[in-house]
Homo-oligomer: A and B are copies of this chain.
Amino acid sequence: MARVVIVGSGLMGTAMAWPLLDNGHSVAIVGTHLDDWIIDSLLANRYHPTLMRKVPPKATFHYIHELPSVIKDADIVVNGVSSFGIHWIADTLSVHLSKGQQVVSLTKGLLSDEQGRVVYFPDYIHDKLSPSVREGSAVVAVGGPCIAGELAARRETCVMFGSRDRAAAKRCAALFGTSYYHVFPTDDVMTLELGVALKNAYTVAVGIAYGMHTPDEAEMGMHNTAAALFAQGCHEMGYIIKKLGGDERQSSALPGAGDLFVTSAGGRTMTLGRLLGEGRSYVQAKEELEGVTLESVQIIHEMATVLEGTWIGEYSIDTGHLPLLRTLVDVIVHNKPVEFRYESFFTAH
């Protein structure tokens, strides 16, 4: 039995409590500065207001000020913050973690450095840890098609745990995996991280397809267009993964097609896409979404930096193979109207 502390009481962080508690581990959930209202509710009656259900018995709930004391005894610390909290969580873990504590990170996304080089979240977190903690440890990143609420409903779910230390990935897979939460360990962190980040970008394109719908006498939809953009998204993910040194075949598995499928099933990124497909500019769409910046938008910005950076030469990326990503950058970063160049899709690479 492990002592697990989950930092971040949002949807995904909290949902991880289900498989962990089912496996008999002790679970302490610590809210961030933004989560006091969630912790209030959890302490009152275990009810999570956005998951819309009660966390199973035995989990404990804590406000952010309790973090230092709660984290001290943890065997495993789960990073459950969103990508906008990546700097905060890295700084926090760098202060509070001690040697031998294993980090499992749920945050999806990526960063770019000044040369336009991709920085993967697990590496970013790892590099900030204090030297004594960093040594001999590796962050385990979680990715794959998993809607938090469905995990909390114990729906059959398949995900990957990736770490540069394969043994750590396997150990955590064994601790977290249940009869409904199927964990596939890998040491190919790069491929996993690229897939689960990039799929957010390409989901915008699928959403745009549905937004482009016009009334039709036979009530026909937009699935052909959505499927073409879905496929081009997978195709481009494969190209980027290959060029950055990963396993492009994963673009048809959990981190690619699988994760893109689940994100395309609904949510705020699809809503953004629909608004763009209906003809709004990104600036207009953002206003309608009440100014909230989405993870997908952040990833498109990071990829714009990568595509425009000096490192692109080292990666030997030919942006001619990425017409869809270039359109997404034009739309989101440069506020241009949507214009897909279908004829330039599906290049052989």
Contacts and interface: CB of A to CB of B under 8 A. Distances in A.
Interface of A: 51-53, 145-147, 149-153, 155-158, 182, 184, 209, 212, 216-228, 230-232, 234-235, 237-238, 248-249, 251-254, 256-259, 261-262, 264-266, 340, 342-343, 345-346
Given A150-B222, A220-B147, A252 B257 contact: yes
B248 A231 contact: no
A216 B226 CA distance: 29
Given A248-B249, A249-B249, A252-B256, 15 more contacts: A147-B221, A150-B221, A153-B216, A156-B209, A156-B224, A158-B224, A158-B228, A182-B228, A227-B262, A235-B252, A237-B252, A251-B252, A252-B252, A253-B346, A261-B261
**Number of this chain's copies in the complex:** 2
A65 B262 CA distance: 49
Given A152-B218, A223-B147, A258-B230, A158 B345 contact: yes
Cβ-closest 6 pairs across A and B: A231-B258, A145-B227, A252-B252, A158-B228, A227-B262, A52-B218
B228 A257 contact: no
Contacts of A237: 252
B261 A220 contact: no
Nearest to A266: B223
Contacts of A151: 224
Contacts of A212: 156
A345 B152 CA distance: 22
B152 A223 contact: no
A275 to B, nearest CB: 18
Nearest to A158: B228
A325 B50 CA distance: 37
Given A223-B262, A238-B252, A252-B251, A228 B184 contact: no
A223 B265 contact: yes
Given A231-B254, A254-B231, A223 B145 contact: yes
Nearest to A206: B261
